[in-house]
Structure 1
């Protein structure tokens, strides 16, 4: 029997057909198309997303003789829409996680309750990204949109199209800012405060729970019959952490793309003031009785993309980037780069922070600037690591890495040297998120008894990058005496100049 994973991402949607040992049978990918309304706000068309998922399923099921035991769905966490409960039709387009349409509502939400008290319930710091702010933004434009409506994440919507059932999982529910992770329940008192109906959200279940079965006639045409169990597997990054085996304290999942996200685990417990002040976000893990912590670098690979396009007459190829990386001196550059092209993320979230180079002289060449950018993302990774170690009270010694950034071994070595962590790159795993979604559904349908059994079934081939102790000592001093100390003055400057500088 085979298992299917579905992933609705920011730039692509995918379906993957896997053997139960994680071996890929077939992967299908379609691009996501971002549209913009008259006010410049981005959106995805629901029917277009469903059509692309259907095409992906058709492609992976090209061998109609394959038998599928379960389908698991994951997606970008904060993207959602309103669906009419009676007609089953979308009342709005998908509002993506990166839309800034609800900034005003997020500011208002923060004024409605003590931020620390709200954090203890949700594990989150207020943001325009979350579902509640988006819903209030829609309500402000047209109160009638909420009548008989239900808010669904991208995963929830695709699950609904496959099964006709409304549901969500704990990890995605938690990214609405209306779900209590301490009680695993919707916060109806909080919803009432905003004059929102109890029925605005679907029932939430543990990640991987079978929420329905395939019931769409059109699916039979592509080899997916009636009655195949379907599960909402959860938050995309958390699903990926399962596939790479980063589900225990001390082992961290790191996804390096345009943005970089680090995810770790801790035992479920009451969230404290230290957790709040860490700047990290927390949520219900797909592994029972666990929370996850999450930190991010919004312009990690994005910094390299900026370098590719801005510091050359022609956009540099990725091969050229790797070649330039190898030309830099083996010693630390001594240049400080702050990777805040899109503001800074956890643990020091600040939308007004700006990127900067400090310490450049006439002898520095392009490869030195490139290496400095890689060092800057490494210093941010160290900042996240230290915050996570403080709240979990346990050392982080291993980081399991996936994503496009793993192709650049110089960059990975820099990260290992700065953080003094072993980095492991699963050599067999090109689609961690897809596989994690499929595996989580497999756990829910008893293909695997638990997460440990699921990960033990996978081939364990990996590349290991170990830190250089001498380089780490130098980087440690640069981080302590330069990177951290100077950025406070820079942040203060940017805040004071906000009203004068618009970009």
Structure 2
């Protein structure tokens, strides 16, 4: 094959790339997505995911790419969703996204009835209303007709697009690990739990290996997308798995951080993290291997808020607004005051679990400028990252650590430098890091294409890609940030009683 097409279907946009045998990225493209918010609900229209894939494919064919040159389709996507589809594979309602917590009541009841220890033993993960299983129960109780008509409850945004392309309802073990009803060791649905709560097991998608071919592009899908009928389609992998592969993290002890709207710090492991911390253990591409992942509810979203609150751009979210904000932060002296920001604008999941938590400043004085407050927001996310990094990674005996940073947040050079300074480690930012989840999903097909022998060699190839930028911590700021970090860790315990009220 000449190209492999890989799509990363996130919350804010769909990214598509054509990948060549040397892991080169060709004709990258992305399409923005809408997020529907009303009251506490966070939803998206699944049809828009499929339309975005069609739009990106059309852009390739328009410039001369031939459908026959694309030998394989692969995907990554947001996880922990609840996407009910009917017999015709059309969505029966908007998808309930991972960040939607409407099922908290159902989760509390299930947690009490099944027992926290029993849940953690089978899933090795926390259990709350953000998971797919409680959301299915919410639908069963609140939208009975939708439940009755559902052919399958899909888990990841990419599962829906794959269903439309192939007619198959499948998901991967990484995504399934975020549902709250998959046994992490056997990688199968926990039948007795489904039966206990009256959920028809036939409505759950088949769990297939991420690198398995689950179907081929149908004639109907070919007419809609332009891809050649019969093109093989991989099961793909949830976004955390794709990002881990794209970061070249596969061996024990390797670690990376992802900064998107939300974020996480993760590493590869053959063991399990303590889930009491709010960390997750997600099944990786091969049995017996996990992704140890500590999630951050506030990452790029905090950056976006700071640009709007303290920046001077004319339109929040446009490129110029971010550039002006970052320039102001670059010109702001750091290490000269004690201003701190707790970045829990959307609550937090790790290392504390508190949906009611909110953002807080301390140390403000009459001399504090809006530029300094904006800088404190970026520092606050970095402190939060340092906390979860300590859960996932161990430093070398000399205290050194090397962290790969990927995601849209890595485009901010000053933020990357702040993170290196606060973490006290080298930060490696690969070129076009926002496309690495798509590249990670493409790695699933390398063995099919004969481009790579195994995932370790694919990881090494990704690390050897040129044009990575390395950020080194400023030694002059080390003592300041270490002192501030110790104060930062005391902020949440000090104000938590106020959140409870």
TM over 0.5: yes
Select which of 182, 190, 206 maps to 2:185. 182
Q: Match for residue 501 of structure 1?
A: none
- Answering whether residue 212 of structure 2 is matched by residue 226 of structure 1, we say no
Once the two structures are TM-superposed, the CA of residue 305 in structure 1 deviates from its matched residue by 2.1
- Answering whether residue 490 of structure 2 is matched by residue 485 of structure 1, we say yes
Q: Deviations over 1:156-207 (max 9, x none)?
A: 2211211122221101111111111121111001111211122121221222
- Answering whether residue 358 of structure 2 is matched by residue 359 of structure 1, we say no
Q: Match for residue 215 of structure 1?
A: 218
Once the two structures are TM-superposed, the CA of residue 75 in structure 1 deviates from its matched residue by 0.8
Q: 2:265–2:392: 8 Å Cα contact kept in structure 1?
A: no
Distance 1:167 1:464 in 2: 39
Q: Match for residue 43 of structure 1?
A: 43
Unmatched tracts of structure 2, length 5 or more: none
Q: Match for residue 333 of structure 1?
A: 337
Q: How does 1:152-191 map to 2 (within 5 A)?
A: 152-153=154-155, 154-191=157-194
- Structure 1 counterpart SS, 2:95: coil
Q: Match for residue 90 of structure 1?
A: 91
Q: 1:242–1:455: 8 Å Cα contact kept in structure 2?
A: yes
Q: Match for residue 407 of structure 1?
A: 411
Distance 2:124 2:410 in 1: 30
- Structure 2 counterpart SS, 1:92: coil
Q: Deviations over 1:417-456 (max 9, x none)?
A: 2222210010254411222122223345554221123234
Once the two structures are TM-superposed, the CA of residue 280 in structure 1 deviates from its matched residue by 0.8
Distance 1:170 1:83 in 2: 20
Q: 1:73–1:234: 8 Å Cα contact kept in structure 2?
A: yes
Select which of 468, 474, 480 maps to 1:474. 480
- Structure 2 counterpart SS, 1:250: coil
Q: 2:221–2:229: 8 Å Cα contact kept in structure 1?
A: no
Q: 2:54–2:224: 8 Å Cα contact kept in structure 1?
A: no
Distance 1:320 1:110 in 2: 47
Once the two structures are TM-superposed, the CA of residue 287 in structure 1 deviates from its matched residue by 4.7
- Answering whether residue 55 of structure 2 is matched by residue 55 of structure 1, we say yes
Q: Match for residue 101 of structure 1?
A: 102
Q: How does 1:292-441 map to 2 (within 5 A)?
A: 292-311=291-310, 317-331=321-335, 333-389=337-393, 397-441=401-445
Q: Match for residue 110 of structure 1?
A: 111
Once the two structures are TM-superposed, the CA of residue 401 in structure 1 deviates from its matched residue by 1.0
- Structure 1 counterpart SS, 2:237: strand
Select which of 79, 82, 89 maps to 2:81. 79
Distance 2:393 2:167 in 1: 43
* The 10-residue stretch of structure 1 (459-468 or 43-52) with the greater mean CA deviation from structure 2: 43-52
Query: Residues 221, 177 of structure 1: CA spacing in aligned structure 2 closer, same or farther, 3 A cutoff?
Result: closer
User: Which TM-score applies when normalising by structure 2?
Assistant: 0.90
Q: Deviations over 1:322-361 (max 9, x none)?
A: 2111222242532121101111221212111121111122
Distance 1:96 1:457 in 2: 33
- Structure 1 counterpart SS, 2:364: coil
Q: Match for residue 500 of structure 1?
A: none
Distance 1:116 1:338 in 2: 31
Distance 1:416 1:353 in 2: 26
Q: 1:5–1:16: 8 Å Cα contact kept in structure 2?
A: yes
- Answering whether residue 71 of structure 2 is matched by residue 69 of structure 1, we say yes
- Answering whether residue 281 of structure 2 is matched by residue 282 of structure 1, we say yes
Q: Deviations over 1:98-124 (max 9, x none)?
A: 223322222222212222321222132
Q: Deviations over 1:236-284 (max 9, x none)?
A: 12202211212233332222233222221111x4x4xx71223211110
User: Which TM-score applies when normalising by structure 1?
Assistant: 0.89
- Structure 1 counterpart SS, 2:100: coil
Q: 2:40–2:101: 8 Å Cα contact kept in structure 1?
A: no
Q: Deviations over 1:364-386 (max 9, x none)?
A: 22232222222211111111011
Q: How does 1:235-254 map to 2 (within 5 A)?
A: 235-254=238-257
Query: Residues 412, 222 of structure 1: CA spacing in aligned structure 2 closer, same or farther, 3 A cutoff?
Result: closer
- Structure 1 counterpart SS, 2:365: coil
Distance 1:179 1:117 in 2: 13
Distance 1:409 1:47 in 2: 35
Distance 2:455 2:44 in 1: 33
Distance 2:254 2:340 in 1: 28
Distance 1:26 1:206 in 2: 28
- Answering whether residue 470 of structure 2 is matched by residue 464 of structure 1, we say yes
Distance 1:50 1:253 in 2: 30
Query: Residues 393, 103 of structure 1: CA spacing in aligned structure 2 closer, same or farther, 3 A cutoff?
Result: farther
